[in-house]
Chains A and B, each alone.
Chain A
């Protein structure tokens, strides 16, 4: 017999699947038409975590991370000399996944911000004939790697700790995202509207605390922090997307279809993992 938690997860999966299939036959209004397929992917991720195993899920997240990075690299203005640093940036993601899978927290935390940065900088100098724009290039490459390799990697590490931690995060972020889509606040950070979401997400975290194994205080705090982190992340990424030329009304493969739905996790995933690691103990 399936446990209660597994049944809840399957029910959510079925509901999102039905909505996603309906979207295929009669597309919803933008950007919901893009949001539901990406949400379906994340729910599939949770299904894999719960029923197949965290290891496979971490590698799926690795591919998702690489695809988002590919989209980012396709949109930034790169120089011909930047090919080796870009290849190194791609390679950093499976290495990070390996570190997550083997539970080497220190290695995971340090690898991208320290070693990948060193390596990409070194590789950028290897062609050795053009220094013009190298700082700009390294900044752009490492920023992308940081966002889509490192920050998303935290979701993978949360998965390793407990399959219900990413479930809590995905559920809370989905509520914040849907609220943002319907209320239509993307660029402007509205404290009032963010505060309205806090009781909802705090209660959801509390309701899931039996499975996430967080005590009441931690669950309430993390639930309350999520809308704030999502709002800040959406606001920051709004500017980034605008500079990348991503048209929110025409999200296409290679032009924001992956970056846009992932943006809400970029602040929340690292902060929640660090909170759990350092404060919860």
Chain B
């Protein structure tokens, strides 16, 4: 009794004040623990401080009758540490080197006496901040002791205050999240998964609120929507931005640069290159002939490509959606100016050259057919952006012309059935090159059905493709 009182005093007047002073523990969900006469606590494990935090949340009366499951082989390597831990926490020792021992029997004895158990289902301290897969032992325990509730507990901060392989604890605030009591249902495996998922959800909620470093080496996924004027690519781009932004941030580069988060448009910091692009774009739209349209359009496309890099740099969205890919538009548009030289092979060469995927010899015949390529290559030496996924809206040019006319805006020089038909042909060749020679997933949508349906079809395609090939290059 004297021994127990001393242990209680150490917990109450030494360990708890130190923990409070050093770690300023914030506890959420204390009500889940109140009123339980017996329980099993299942917590994530990243630090030796975890045990102290769990003893911090239990009542004084529970201290003598709570036992943490600990690895005997690990602690017995340090005799002094073993004696201290043995005295303060009265652990239920598991000998991992002799798995033949019967820990479940020992647990049963303790639980039958009205005691509580603390267990770390990950087995040992994992990587700091990571939750490893839970071992099925916790499910087995819950199955065997069905009348005893299991409390999932998420510990945050201890992995920073005293991570594995560190000897110096740092004063950093920690938090303990106590989940509601779980009763066994289903199988041991499924119950283990339920607990693990619950703790992972608590972890995600805690981590989402905190400052995060900008990820390094992860780039935004680039999705381009192509189609001739009046095909509905702007509407599709907007719908895609809203749909994809439910799973992350999306930056849309259309007539205007927009940022979407959780389906809604967000305020955006203005960029100088966007203001410049808009001015040039307005000027290009006033052109009376294809000849006067060419140079401002080329400048606009180059600025739009530059803007893609700027968007990735400043906003770090998960996805960037281009309402018309500058590189592919540029290549597709060449059919209007040099139809004789336009071919699938020329398209492939131009795309590879402009995206800096391939260098060509100085005397390559393509430079004779398309001398502009040399200048473009010099202007964008690191290459223009190549989309990771391409969506092509293949709509009848006559229908597109009707849509353009119904807008009531001045018609641009290329917006005739003949020219749009040639552009459509050019874009389709570009799509073939992208799919067949560059292995980039392309979805060609020919349907003129409801835009909502088309958007959903395109969203599903993009999600499938991005899941298939993570693009963290």
* A binding-site residues for B, Cβ under 8 Å: 66-67, 70-71, 73-78, 80, 83, 86-87, 90, 132-133, 136, 243-245, 247, 252-255
B279 within 8 A of A: no
Q: Which of B164-172, B183-191, B361-369, B404-412 contacts A (4 or more CB under 8 A)?
A: B164-172
Write out the residue numbers on chain A whose beta carbons fall within 8 Å of the beta carbon of B211: 75-77, 243-245
Could you pull out 6 A-B pairs where Cβ atoms are within 8 angstroms? A70-B171, A76-B211, A80-B166, A90-B170, A254-B175, A255-B173
Partner of A254, one of B170, B173, B212, B216: B173
Contact flags B293-320 to A (C-beta < 8 A → 1, else 0): 0000000000000000000000000000
B26 pairs with A252, CB closer than 8 A: yes
B426 within 8 A of A: no
A253 pairs with B24, CB closer than 8 A: yes
Q: Would A87 and B168 be within 8 Å (CB), given that A74-B173, A80-B163, A245-B209 are in contact?
A: yes
B170 pairs with A83, CB closer than 8 A: yes
Write out the residue numbers on chain A whose beta carbons fall within 8 Å of the beta carbon of B26: 252-255
Total contacting residues, chain B, CB less than 8 A: 20
Cα-based distance from A87 to B170 in the complex (angstroms): 7
Min CB distance B130 to A, Å, is 12
A254 pairs with B210, CB closer than 8 A: no
B380 within 8 A of A: no
Write out the residue numbers on chain B whose beta carbons fall within 8 Å of the beta carbon of A87: 168, 170
Write out the residue numbers on chain A whose beta carbons fall within 8 Å of the beta carbon of B128: 80
B16 within 8 A of A: no
Q: Which of B169-225 contact A (CB under 8 A)?
A: 170-175, 209-213, 216
Min CB distance B458 to A, Å, is 34
Partner of A78, one of B160, B173, B209: B160
Q: Which of B22-52 contact A (CB under 8 A)?
A: 24, 26
Question: Whose C-beta in chain B lies nearest to the C-beta of A254?
Answer: B173
Write out the residue numbers on chain A whose beta carbons fall within 8 Å of the beta carbon of B212: 77
Q: Would A66 and B174 be within 8 Å (CB), given that A80-B128, A136-B213, A247-B209 are in contact?
A: no
Contact flags B129-167 to A (C-beta < 8 A → 1, else 0): 000000000000000000000000000010010010010
A254 pairs with B174, CB closer than 8 A: yes
Question: Whose C-beta in chain A lies nearest to the C-beta of B166?
Answer: A83
Write out the residue numbers on chain B whose beta carbons fall within 8 Å of the beta carbon of A71: 24, 173
* B binding-site residues for A, Cβ under 8 Å: 24, 26, 128, 157, 160, 163, 166, 168, 170-175, 209-213, 216
Cα-based distance from A57 to B24 in the complex (angstroms): 22
Cα-based distance from A243 to B174 in the complex (angstroms): 19
Write out the residue numbers on chain A whose beta carbons fall within 8 Å of the beta carbon of B175: 254
Write out the residue numbers on chain A whose beta carbons fall within 8 Å of the beta carbon of B210: 75, 77, 244-245
Cα-based distance from A138 to B216 in the complex (angstroms): 17
Write out the residue numbers on chain A whose beta carbons fall within 8 Å of the beta carbon of B174: 74, 254
Min CB distance A63 to B, Å, is 10
A86 pairs with B209, CB closer than 8 A: no
A73 pairs with B172, CB closer than 8 A: yes
Question: Whose C-beta in chain B lies nearest to the C-beta of A90?
Answer: B171
Write out the residue numbers on chain B whose beta carbons fall within 8 Å of the beta carbon of A252: 26
Write out the residue numbers on chain B whose beta carbons fall within 8 Å of the beta carbon of A90: 170-171
Write out the residue numbers on chain B whose beta carbons fall within 8 Å of the beta carbon of A254: 24, 26, 157, 173-175
Min CB distance A154 to B, Å, is 23
Min CB distance B212 to A, Å, is 5
Partner of A83, one of B157, B168, B209: B168
Write out the residue numbers on chain B whose beta carbons fall within 8 Å of the beta carbon of A243: 211
Min CB distance A176 to B, Å, is 27
Question: Whose C-beta in chain B lies nearest to the C-beta of A63?
Answer: B21
Cα-based distance from A136 to B172 in the complex (angstroms): 19
Min CB distance B296 to A, Å, is 38
Cα-based distance from A133 to B211 in the complex (angstroms): 15
Write out the residue numbers on chain B whose beta carbons fall within 8 Å of the beta carbon of A245: 209-211
Write out the residue numbers on chain B whose beta carbons fall within 8 Å of the beta carbon of A132: 216
Cα-based distance from A133 to B214 in the complex (angstroms): 10
B171 pairs with A77, CB closer than 8 A: no
Write out the residue numbers on chain B whose beta carbons fall within 8 Å of the beta carbon of A77: 210-213
Cα-based distance from A254 to B171 in the complex (angstroms): 11
Question: Whose C-beta in chain B lies nearest to the C-beta of A242?
Answer: B211
Cα-based distance from A254 to B209 in the complex (angstroms): 13
Min CB distance A28 to B, Å, is 21
The 10 A-B pairs at the shortest CB distance, nearest first, are namely A254-B173, A74-B173, A245-B209, A77-B213, A245-B210, A74-B172, A70-B171, A244-B211, A254-B26, A253-B26
Cα-based distance from A77 to B157 in the complex (angstroms): 11
B170 pairs with A253, CB closer than 8 A: no
Min CB distance B138 to A, Å, is 28
A74 pairs with B216, CB closer than 8 A: no
Cα-based distance from A212 to B209 in the complex (angstroms): 44
A74 pairs with B213, CB closer than 8 A: no
Min CB distance B218 to A, Å, is 13
Interface centre among B24, B26, B171, B173 (most CB of A within 10 A): B173
Interface centre among B26, B163, B166, B171 (most CB of A within 10 A): B171
Min CB distance B249 to A, Å, is 16
Question: Whose C-beta in chain A lies nearest to the C-beta of B28?
Answer: A252
A67 pairs with B24, CB closer than 8 A: yes
Cα-based distance from A73 to B213 in the complex (angstroms): 14
B170 pairs with A86, CB closer than 8 A: yes
Min CB distance B29 to A, Å, is 13
Question: Whose C-beta in chain B lies nearest to the C-beta of A83?
Answer: B170
Write out the residue numbers on chain A whose beta carbons fall within 8 Å of the beta carbon of B168: 83, 87
Cα-based distance from A243 to B146 in the complex (angstroms): 45
Cα-based distance from A254 to B177 in the complex (angstroms): 14
Write out the residue numbers on chain A whose beta carbons fall within 8 Å of the beta carbon of B157: 74, 254
Write out the residue numbers on chain B whose beta carbons fall within 8 Å of the beta carbon of A73: 170, 172
Write out the residue numbers on chain B whose beta carbons fall within 8 Å of the beta carbon of A253: 24, 26, 173
Question: Whose C-beta in chain B lies nearest to the C-beta of A243?
Answer: B211
Q: Would A133 and B216 be within 8 Å (CB), given that A75-B210, A77-B210 are in contact?
A: yes
Min CB distance B196 to A, Å, is 24
Min CB distance A259 to B, Å, is 11
Write out the residue numbers on chain B whose beta carbons fall within 8 Å of the beta carbon of A244: 210-211
Cα-based distance from A7 to B172 in the complex (angstroms): 39
Write out the residue numbers on chain A whose beta carbons fall within 8 Å of the beta carbon of B170: 73, 83, 86-87, 90
Write out the residue numbers on chain A whose beta carbons fall within 8 Å of the beta carbon of B172: 70, 73-74
Cα-based distance from A75 to B171 in the complex (angstroms): 12
Write out the residue numbers on chain B whose beta carbons fall within 8 Å of the beta carbon of A67: 24
Min CB distance B317 to A, Å, is 17
Min CB distance B339 to A, Å, is 51
